[in-house]
Amino acid sequence: MSLPKRKLASSLEVSAIGLGCMGLNFSYAPFPEKKEAIDLMRTAVAEGISFFDTAEVYGPYTNEEIVGEALAPFRNEVVIATKFGFNIVDGKMLGVNSRPEQIVKSVEGSLKRLNTDVIDLLYQHRVDPNVPIEDVVGTVADLVKAGKVKHFGLSEAGANTIRRAHQEFPVTALQSEYSLWFRRHENDILPTLDELGISLVPFSPLGKGFLTGKIDEHKEFLDGDIRKMIPRFTTEARVANRALLDALDTFAAQKNATTAQLALAWILARNPHHVPIPGTTKILRLKENIGALHITLSAAELEELNTLSDTINIMGDRYHEAAEKATGL
């Protein structure tokens, strides 16, 4: 099957919706068996998805191995993005680390686990305040020259960091959280991306699952599910935040769509260079997400959704305090 294409920074062509692979074995327990995860990714390819996102820290390491195995038969047909930027010691993530030698080590490991000769899109996972972004970019530029990386991106970086990085080497994409219930990047980051010709790859475009409408105050999160620790997912917050879902339910019904499809369609309609990467462990939800590509929002409908989102106060931070401080925003 063929899906509409979009270009990241007018150079890297991908399907208009990608697949975030993190939840297949990291952060959102319970996890599918490895065979199910591989089947899901191969179904995604059959459905027309060509853009897959992973990172060395997911697992750590094991997510890249699953992605590499699943996509090996289709390597020339797909774009694989992965990330560096953390210390990983004895299977635990211990702070950021983007020193040049660590970047090189991370890339060599990712290439082996992904079973590939080149990484299509390499992100700095989080800004390292102890390493000048110019040193980070210079190291990645060397990896591009060596043929081990094709494109460079940033994740959760602020506008100033994006500008400094782009002056040294073209930044293809910024991967950051963006959805109908988290729009802070519209203040300065999205205008910066538009000015510089950098694309946005929104992660958590469905609000870590909340915008699917399947998570209510009775949902119990298992150990291994990060939402158990996130302020926005306390029982009280879920009750309060239902106001947004109720409004979206009404709007989605008018479009003969699910709230998840509406949330993705909103992102797609905002900018032709936005490529959301919703994650899922279920083939049914995968196909539902792809269905968002068939929903057209007029300028008036888009503005109505913007206003709706603006006027509903969302309770709870998107991360606990320490995790929020680890971003470069």
Q: Rounded CA gap, 12 and 310, in Å?
A: 32
Q: Residue 128: which residues within 8 A CB-CB, separation 6 or more?
A: 85, 96, 97, 98, 99, 136
Which phi and psi (to 5°) does residue 52 adopt? -125, 135
Q: What is the dihedral of CA 52, 57, 61, 67, to 10 degrees?
A: -10
121-134 burial code (b ≥16 CB/10 A, e <16): bbbbbbbbeebebe
Tokens 């990291």 belong to residue: 26
Q: Rounded CA gap, 145 and 140, in Å?
A: 9
120: tokens are 């299509």
56: tokens are 């060395």
Looking at the chain, which runs of residues are DSSP E strands? 5-8, 12-15, 19-20, 51-53, 79-84, 86-89, 92-96, 119-124, 149-155, 171-177, 199-203
Catalytic residue, from 28, 58, 123, 178: name it.
58
- The reply to whether 178 belongs to the active site is no
Q: Residue 278: which residues within 8 A CB-CB, separation 6 or more?
A: 17, 19, 20, 205, 206, 260, 264, 289
275: tokens are 């490529």
- 129 within 8 A of 160, measured Cβ to Cβ: no
Q: Do strands 86-89 and 92-96 pair parallel, antiparallel, or not at all (unpaired)? A: antiparallel
* Residues taking part in catalysis: 58
